[in-house]
Amino acid sequence: MDENVIVALEKRGVVSATFRKLEPVKKKTIYKVVLAAFAEDIFESVSLEKVALAAGISKGSLIQYFMHKGNLLEFAGGIFLDDYRRHWDNYFMTEYAVRAKDRIANFMAAHLDYWDNAKTEFKFFMKIHYENSADLTKGIRNEFLKLRSGYFSQIIGRGMETGEIRRDMETEFISLLILASLKNLEQIYAAALQTPKTKVDLKDLAAKTVMILFDGIGG
Amino acid sequence: MDENVIVALEKRGVVSATFRKLEPVKKKTIYKVVLAAFAEDIFESVSLEKVALAAGISKGSLIQYFMHKGNLLEFAGGIFLDDYRRHWDNYFMTEYAVRAKDRIANFMAAHLDYWDNAKTEFKFFMKIHYENSADLTKGIRNEFLKLRSGYFSQIIGRGMETGEIRRDMETEFISLLILASLKNLEQIYAAALQTPKTKVDLKDLAAKTVMILFDGIGG
Amino acid sequence: MDENVIVALEKRGVVSATFRKLEPVKKKTIYKVVLAAFAEDIFESVSLEKVALAAGISKGSLIQYFMHKGNLLEFAGGIFLDDYRRHWDNYFMTEYAVRAKDRIANFMAAHLDYWDNAKTEFKFFMKIHYENSADLTKGIRNEFLKLRSGYFSQIIGRGMETGEIRRDMETEFISLLILASLKNLEQIYAAALQTPKTKVDLKDLAAKTVMILFDGIGG
Amino acid sequence: MDENVIVALEKRGVVSATFRKLEPVKKKTIYKVVLAAFAEDIFESVSLEKVALAAGISKGSLIQYFMHKGNLLEFAGGIFLDDYRRHWDNYFMTEYAVRAKDRIANFMAAHLDYWDNAKTEFKFFMKIHYENSADLTKGIRNEFLKLRSGYFSQIIGRGMETGEIRRDMETEFISLLILASLKNLEQIYAAALQTPKTKVDLKDLAAKTVMILFDGIGG
DNA sequence: GATGAATGAGCATTCATTCAT
DNA sequence: GATGAATGAATGCTCATTCAT
């Protein structure tokens, strides 16, 4: 959890100076608790009482840190987005694959792996995108959309240069379509999480997805 | 609005016998009002008071017809699913295209057209899928998933037989991927509705989508 | 408690139709309880919880009757103003005194008597005028001001015609001054209520007040 | 702001020794801010947070200086009462008029002038007397009452000696009545402040008031 | 069968005051 | 002595649901 993000959130009025000055450990605890709360329930069902209790602080402090309930979600979203961005920015800086197809395949597989190692974050992400009012999530959904389609755009842009990817369509459109297929995998993964007995070979699904994306479903 | 569906909903405990016996016109009015309510707001923000008022009935009657609030959503979802199913079942019965590619392209284009002529239904569909708790929507989401992927499965199955579609992957997997691309178009359309100035050539997007699906993004 | 006033209050959005339809006895009980509440405490210290308890109804009903707390005060003020107006309108219709001086003296004495027989109403009146935010009381204070100065204006106007009262000053100004002397008596009475041992001859004070008003303090 | 008053307030437990020892400038600033706060809002609506912020000190210091919120009002009232007393004591020491009638007329006119040059103080005075719980203001209201009626008593007592004022009534009673007419002027002035367009000739009103007081309204 | 009055649980938010640093 | 972080009591209001008429 980057202190600079806290500062940025303070500037946006999401957290108070009081919160910023808290010991990092405490801030992290609160983040984890808030994230878990919104990963488990929709906004309306999350109560300050329960969050405060889980975080080991008083309701009064909670409201002092975040001013109002809406900012709890904003905060969790802001921090997680930053973590997420940091993770994948770093990923792409140390990426070794060269071919566009491999790059996309690897990214998708890594993605499912990432979620598999961060279940709470995944649930939060899915709740944000599929189970909460757009009024509350518009901002954060957009950030994720820009970020994720941006990753694909870069790969696609490079792929077009090398001739690996067709040049007769807008990069952005192709990005959205690939992103849709990643979302598809995420939803399959989410469904699998619900019914634990099911074994899904996520690597395989990612590979097939990319295969279709590149070669098409044509016979 | 099919009376048989009402009977089925009564058996599932979604509506009461009292509701079933209502004049069809009244039932239809109530359906329209409930649909519009959940198309506009998330579950928690919909109040029985306002729904009753808009439907021209009393709060007491409303609860007598549906037992509890959750069933309002269940009811609207059930009726709309049936309408939707009826519409597309009929569509496929009178479909003239032969080639898999055309069938999918036509279906997608027709779909966006369908939504464009049924904005309230579209909003309802999107709210159900992207802005309401899975606890409430699991059932209806699943029904739509089965139905929609089923349509694609049929086309794909036939396409595999004719050799138009590759046979090295499970029909179901391919269906989901195509469905994901339809969802992508629906989200683009939803975004366009939000910002009215934007002109999006939906036909074109549908065509490009199918082109990529069949031929791939490979250069 | 006049039903027409309830209807008027409903039109002003002060009470709900639900309240209007209540049995008159219940409405009266609620009025008495609300009046007593605001007679005893300032607005901020009156809690819906306590009022509901005292009235033998639930907090939910209370809010259903009055929509929000502010309307409780508005309601009590409205009903009391009407009672007050009715009382004094009637008083002036059956008044027998002829001379302006006597009319004013009688009115003042009767006033203190009136309050003496309606202690809760008096406390309410004083709380409204001296112990609550003008934001909340502006309307009702103004109504009382108009009504009371109006009574004096009529007496004064007639007194000017008969030559009993000087004609070199505006009726309204003289009314306000007489009203101020009535307020003075009310404050003296209020002080006396606080310290029960004190005996104050209110009749005497009223008489002296009028004597000074008419003859002046000049030696 | 007299240091002796601070000492007296400290003895009454209104301010702490810590506050007394503050630099005079700081004490004055705090006084001005507290006065303005209670001039603008009723007790319940004044928040320590805002007062501290406006005074440029911390909430902790504020509570250390005054122990509890109630003392803020007590403090502002105490200081202002002293200023007020000092002003009018001085006024009466340098007063040149001789006749009772003139003395009262001058005092009233000077009073309205005084308020006109001290609007915050006037608002504070009015809030104290007409818009705050008697529980909080009983003390200070009484002080002002004693002081103000005292001024009039002196004039009246002297007037009785010279035969300018009737001797058949208690001095105190006459004082209260004259005070009531001053309050009347203050309320007219307050109303005029609210509706800035209105022009009121305060001097004229004061003159008329005294004319009536001395000669009566008799024709 | 229709109505709508009554209920009460639930929750965000405010803010004076305490107290550790 | 100054600060401001922590607290928790208090309260208005919303709304689904119950139930008497």
Residue B139 at interface with chain A, using a CB cutoff of 8 Å: no
| Contact between D217 and C166 using a beta-carbon 8 Å cutoff | yes
Residue C165 at interface with chain D, using a CB cutoff of 8 Å: yes
Residue A169 at interface with chain B, using a CB cutoff of 8 Å: yes
Using a CB-CB cut-off of 8 Å, the residues of chain B touching A184 are: 176-177, 179-180
Residue among B91, B90, B85, B81 nearest B124 (CA): B81
Q: CA A75, CA A31: separation in Å to the nearest integer?
A: 8
Residue D92 at interface with chain C, using a CB cutoff of 8 Å: no
Q: Which residues pair with C218 in a beta bridge?
A: D165
pLDDT digits (tens, 9 = 90+) for B51-100: 999 999 999 999 999 999 999 999 999 999 999 999 999 999 999 988 99
Residue A184 at interface with chain B, using a CB cutoff of 8 Å: yes
* DSSP assignment letter at C218: B
Q: CA D66, CA C158: separation in Å to the nearest integer?
A: 56
| Interface residues 22-61 of D with strand E (CB < 7 Å) | 45-49, 59-60
| CB distance D65 to D18 below 8 Å | yes
A vs B, Cβ pairs < 8 A, gives: 109
Q: CA B178, CA A107: separation in Å to the nearest integer?
A: 21
Over residues C59-84, mean pLDDT = 97
Question: Residue A166 is nearest to which of B130, B133, B217, comparing CB atoms?
Answer: B217
Burial class (CB in 10 A: 0-12, 13-18, 19+), D78: buried
Residue-by-residue DSSP string for chain B: --HHHHHHHHHTTSS-HHHHTS-HHHHHHHHHHHHHHHHHS-GGG--HHHHHHHHTS-HHHHHHHHSSHHHHHHHHHHHHHHHHHHHHHHHHHS----SHHHHHHHHHHHHHHHHHT-HHHHHHHHHHHHBS-HHHHHHHHHHHHHHHHHHHHHHHHHHHHHTSB-SSS-HHHHHHHHHHHHHHHHHHHHHHHHSTT----HHHHHHHHHHHHHH-SB-
Q: CA A105, CA A111: separation in Å to the nearest integer?
A: 10
Give chain F positions with protein CB within 7 A: 1-20
pLDDT at B199: 81
Q: What angle do CA A107, A111, A113 make, to 5 degrees?
A: 120
Residue C47 approaches strand E within 7 Å at CB: no
Residue B57 approaches strand E within 7 Å at CB: yes
pLDDT at C200: 83
pLDDT at B97: 87
Closest alpha carbon to C1' of E8, residue: C60
pLDDT digits (tens, 9 = 90+) for D38-78: 999 999 999 999 999 999 999 999 999 999 999 999 999 99
CA at A81, C1' at E12: how many angstroms apart?
26
Pull the structure tokens for residue D139. Answer: 């003390």
| Contact between D219 and C163 using a beta-carbon 8 Å cutoff | yes
Please give the residue of chain B at the shortest CA–CA distance from A159: B219
Closest alpha carbon to C1' of F10, residue: C47
Residue D17 approaches strand F within 7 Å at CB: yes
Instruction: Say what the pTM is.
Output: 0.92
pLDDT at D1 over 90: no
| Contact between B169 and A213 using a beta-carbon 8 Å cutoff | no
Q: Which helix (H) or strand (E) holds A124?
A: helix A119-130
Kindly state the percentage of chain A with pLDDT values over 90: 90
Residue A63 approaches strand F within 7 Å at CB: yes
Residue-by-residue DSSP string for A31-99: HHHHHHHHHHS-GGG--HHHHHHHHTS-HHHHHHHHSSHHHHHHHHHHHHHHHHHHHHHHHHHT----S
Using a CB-CB cut-off of 8 Å, the residues of chain C touching D179 are: 184
CA at C60, C1' at E8: how many angstroms apart?
7
CA at C20, C1' at F6: how many angstroms apart?
47
pLDDT digits (tens, 9 = 90+) for A151-202: 999 999 999 999 999 999 999 999 999 999 999 999 999 999 988 887 888 8
**Chains contacting C (3 or more CB pairs within 8 Å):** D
pLDDT at A30 over 90: yes
Average pLDDT, chain A: 94
* CA distances from residue A129 to A135, A137, B52, B180, D209 in whole angstroms, order as listed: 12, 8, 31, 15, 74
Using a CB-CB cut-off of 8 Å, the residues of chain B touching A164 are: 218-219
Q: What are phi and psi of C163, to 5 degrees?
A: 85, 5
pLDDT at D216 over 90: no
Q: CA B94, CA B104: separation in Å to the nearest integer?
A: 15
| CB distance D154 to D141 below 8 Å | no
pLDDT at D199 over 90: no
pLDDT at A219 over 80: no
Residue with tokens 């491999």: A102
Q: CA D103, CA D152: separation in Å to the nearest integer?
A: 9
pLDDT digits (tens, 9 = 90+) for B137-162: 999 999 999 999 999 999 999 999 99
pLDDT at A17 over 80: yes
pLDDT at B218 over 80: no
Interface test with C, best of D124, D145, D202, D217 (most C CBs within 10 A): D217
Closest alpha carbon to C1' of F5, residue: A18
Residue C201 at interface with chain D, using a CB cutoff of 8 Å: no
* DSSP assignment letter at C131: B
Instruction: Say how many residues make up chain D.
Output: 219
| Interface residues 46-85 of A with strand E (CB < 7 Å) | 46-49, 59-60, 63-64, 67-70
Residue A175 at interface with chain B, using a CB cutoff of 8 Å: no
Whose C1' is closest to the CA of B19: which nucleotide?
A: E1
Task: List chain C domain ranges.
Answer: 3-71, 95-217
pLDDT at C97: 87
CA at D13, C1' at F1: how many angstroms apart?
19
Residue C219 at interface with chain D, using a CB cutoff of 8 Å: yes
Q: CA A79, CA A76: separation in Å to the nearest integer?
A: 5
pLDDT at A156: 95
Residue among C49, C43, C50, C40 nearest C71 (CA): C43
Q: How far is A168 from chain B (nearest CA, A)?
A: 9
Q: Place A212 in a pLDDT band, splitting at 50, 70 and 90.
A: very high
CATH code, A95-217: 1.10.357.10
Question: Residue A184 is nearest to which of B129, B177, B219, comparing CB atoms?
Answer: B177
Residue C132 at interface with chain D, using a CB cutoff of 8 Å: yes
Using a CB-CB cut-off of 8 Å, the residues of chain A touching B205 are: 173
Q: CA B130, CA A129: separation in Å to the nearest integer?
A: 6
Q: CA C128, CA D134: separation in Å to the nearest integer?
A: 12
Lowest-confidence pick of A28-42, B205-219, C14-28: B205-219
Chains B and A touch (3+ CB pairs under 8 A): yes
Give chain E positions with protein CB within 7 A: 1-20
Residue C59 approaches strand F within 7 Å at CB: yes
Average pLDDT, chain B: 94
Closest alpha carbon to C1' of F16, residue: B69
Give one word for C95, left, alpha or beta, with left for phi > 0 and alpha for psi -120 to 50. Answer: beta
Classified by CATH at the fold level, domain B3-71 comes out as: Arc Repressor Mutant, subunit A (1.10.10)
Residue B26 approaches strand F within 7 Å at CB: no
Interface test with A, best of B146, B169, B178, B217 (most A CBs within 10 A): B217
Residue C64 approaches strand F within 7 Å at CB: yes
Q: Place A121 in a pLDDT band, splitting at 50, 70 and 90.
A: very high
| CB distance C138 to D197 below 8 Å | no
Work out whether the CA dihedral D37, D41, D43, D45 comes out positive or negative.
negative
Q: CA C195, CA A38: separation in Å to the nearest integer?
A: 60
Residue C49 approaches strand F within 7 Å at CB: yes
Residue A203 at interface with chain B, using a CB cutoff of 8 Å: no
CA at A146, C1' at E16: how many angstroms apart?
46
Q: What angle do CA C100, C102, C105 make, to 5 degrees?
A: 110
Residue C169 at interface with chain D, using a CB cutoff of 8 Å: yes
Question: Residue D184 is nearest to which of C167, C180, C188, comparing CB atoms?
Answer: C180
